[in-house]
């Protein structure tokens, strides 16, 4: 978990018998061989797969590095379990290391709020939020995702958990455009976009994107509706994110309460010496009228 575990630039996630490693800094990349040997000795995985890519590596002057570091090639999909759910994970082509392990607590929160609700799940990816909502008793969940492979994976994950497709609509669409067309018809909306600020220079444009999404999400909620909204960029602070949401609330003309801040689960600690490591910022908002 990078700086949170006092190993700056290193992320390692475990999926069954396979590990996925990301090396984001030049220093940690230089230690790659040592890290792989240590992981092999400690965990005896069938294989270690590398997914070192993205803006942070670019800022370090490092090219992308993707592929098997040691051991077996991973299967196309790996099945994992989380809180009684089963999910298929694509560690080779999926987002991040294949699954958003850091959203485990937020998925449980949504499940606790979902009974008899109509829910819009934007940036649905492989359907984990939808699965939790349906298991929590949601009347209907509409999941919007622009990636067809991700939607196919979401379909498989709902079936794997014996969740009815009649209560879940999977739509291939751009979430920005979809939200703009929505009427005030939802009880809960989940906004979990990929990072809109991959590099420090992206923050200004990202702020506009986050405001657009949240403005139209607030307008698409019924009175007493809930918005569960996230920002996963370490370059955009919690303070700035809250200011963006405040601006969206003012422009929407809705009266909004902050009910809860949500973020990393316990296995994603943050070093007090590196507060920027608190990259995942979530807000649960109540729209009164």
pLDDT-flagged residues of the chain (< 50): none
**Residue of 122, 182, 231, 232 marked catalytic:** 232
DSSP string covering 22-40: EE-SHHHHHTHHHHHHHHH
Q: Where in the chain is the domain with CATH 3.30.750.80?
A: 2-74
**Torsions phi, psi for 173 (to 5 deg):** -160, 160
Among this protein's residues, is 231 annotated catalytic?
no
58-61: long-range pairs with CB below 8 Å, 24+:
58/199, 59/199, 59/200, 60/24, 60/25, 60/26, 60/29, 61/26
Q: Which pLDDT score is estimated for 40?
A: 98
Architecture, CATH, for domain 94-287? 3-Layer(aba) Sandwich (3.40)
Q: What is the pTM of this model?
A: 0.93
| Residue 3 · residue 28 · CB < 8 Å | no
Q: Where in the chain is the domain with CATH 3.40.50.150?
A: 94-287
Q: Which pLDDT score is estimated for 195?
A: 83
CATH homologous superfamily for the domain 2-74: RNA methyltransferase domain (HRMD) like (3.30.750.80)
Angle formed by the axes of helices 128-135 and 104-113, nearest 10° = 40
Q: Which pLDDT score is estimated for 198?
A: 72
Q: Which pLDDT score is estimated for 55?
A: 78
User: d(Cα 76, Cα 165) in Å, to the nearest integer?
Assistant: 24
Q: Which pLDDT score is estimated for 166?
A: 64
Tens digits of residue pLDDT in 118-173? 999 999 999 999 999 999 999 999 999 999 999 999 999 999 999 976 666 999 99
């Amino acid at each position: 978990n990078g700086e949170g575990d006092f190993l700056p630039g290193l992320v390692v996630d475990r999926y069954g018998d396979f590990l996925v490693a990301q090396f984001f800094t030049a220093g940690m990349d230089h230690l790659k061989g040592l890290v792989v040997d240590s992981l092999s000795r400690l965990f005896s995985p069938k294989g270690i797969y590398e997914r070192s890519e993205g803006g942070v590596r670019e800022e370090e002057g490092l090219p992308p590095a993707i592929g098997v570091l040691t051991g077996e090639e991973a299967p196309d999909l790996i099945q994992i379990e989380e809180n009684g759910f089963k999910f298929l994970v694509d560690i080779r082509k999926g987002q991040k290391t294949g699954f958003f392990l850091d959203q485990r607590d937020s998925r449980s929160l949504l499940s606790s709020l979902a009974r008899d609700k109509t829910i819009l799940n934007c940036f649905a990816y492989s359907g984990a939020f939808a699965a939790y909502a349906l298991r929590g008793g949601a009347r209907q969940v509409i999941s919007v995702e622009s990636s067809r492979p991700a939607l196919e994976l979401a379909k498989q994950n709902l079936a794997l958990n014996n969740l009815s497709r009649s209560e879940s609509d999977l739509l291939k669409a751009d979430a920005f455009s979809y939200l703009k067309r929505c009427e005030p018809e939802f009880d809960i909306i989940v906004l979990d976009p990929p990072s809109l600020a991959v590099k420090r220079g992206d923050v200004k444009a990202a702020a506009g994107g986050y405001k657009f999404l949240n403005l139209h999400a607030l307008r698409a909620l019924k009175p007493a509706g809930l918005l569960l909204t996230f920002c996963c960029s370490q370059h955009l602070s919690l303070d700035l994110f809250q200011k963006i949401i405040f601006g969206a609330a003012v422009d929407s003309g809705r009266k909004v309460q902050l009910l809860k801040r949500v973020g990393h689960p316990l296995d994603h600690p943050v070093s007090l010496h590196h507060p920027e490591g608190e990259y995942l910022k979530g807000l649960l908002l109540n729209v009164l009228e």
